[in-house]
Amino acid sequence: MSLPVLQSTIDVGGLSFDPLVWSGPLMWLVLAAFLGSALVQRYDREFARRIAAGGWVVFGAFWLVLVPHFALTQKSLIEGVGSFAAVPLSVYAGYQLYQGRDSLFVLTRAVGLMGLVYVPFITIGPLRQAMVELVTDQTAFLMSLLGFDPLVVEGFTYDGVQITEKQYPYESTFWFEGNSKPITYNILLACTGMGSIAIFAGGILAVSAPWRRRLRALAMTVSVIYVLNLFRNVFIAVSFGHQRMQIFPELVMTVFGLEDPQMVSYYVADRILAQTGSVVVLVGITYLLVRELPEITVLVEDLLFLVTGTEYDLAAAFDSGGESDEAAAPSDD
């Protein structure tokens, strides 16, 4: 895997460390362990258990090296705390699976499938470009419906000014004149919603349920996430580009360590409001998904157990009357 275009070097005690360089190889090891364990499980369950448990430990290391990237480079409280919390949770999941909690095989398979959905967009340039530019065009269209006329540019520079924090020279940058200097808002792969889509797709594909209901649940979640993500992009672009979120600028600049006052609107709109709203939305989508596909409660129950140490029976809580693994409901015939 080649080095990422956008570097995020962290200097600690005179030592330079780039989390994105280290996370790449770890990601491949995790995928190999999780998907490999799913295949081996068909023939040797105990060997698959050891492979998966080791994969969870590597998954913890993956999140550990990304903590400084999210916390220091991205200055994202939610992502920083989330990646930090994922370290012990991943190791604990591996321990529980190794000790005999077989339901975690489903969660292991789900994470592997999540990676299988998302990795092509990281590694295949034309696919990534098509996705990023499609979302950019649709975001621009929605902005035009609201009465805005956004200028979308390509390349790493425009009008003699360098576009900061841009990974690839796609036609994916919204250009605003700004107050003291031009404002640029880049649509990255992370802005396409593919991360969230991959999470739910992996979970849906991993559980044992009739394909008709799995595909229906997949269509519902993908469409909802994709549309809501477009509105999220519009909100951030308008708020940042037109400086609509200059709320407590001195405080925000101090908390996030900002030097440019124009960045206040971005951090308020994205790092505070949009990311908090995304968490709420994903919880709501999970609730709807459990109602549509009760079999997925095995994943939610295991996640809740890993976080709280308490066993839950969500099938009873939702009164879902979920079927056993491969039993189809009458409506699926």
Q: Which residues are catalytic?
A: 191, 232
DSSP-based three-state secondary structure for 185: strand
Please provide the size of the chain in residues: 333
Specify the DSSP class assigned to residue 162: E
Rg (C-alpha) for the chain, rounded Å, is: 21
For the chain, where are the E strands, in sequence order?
Answer: 10-12, 15-17, 151-153, 157-158, 161-162, 173-176, 183-186
Longest alpha-carbon distance in the chain:
65
The answer to whether 132 and 172 are in contact (CB under 8 A) is: yes
Burial of 117 (0-12, 13-18, 19+ CB in 10 A): middle
For residue 73, give the DSSP letter: I
Number of neighbouring beta carbons within 10 Å of residue 127: 12
The rounded distance, in Å, linking the Cα atoms of 234 and 232 is 5
Residue 198 in contact with residue 114, Cβ under 8 Å? yes
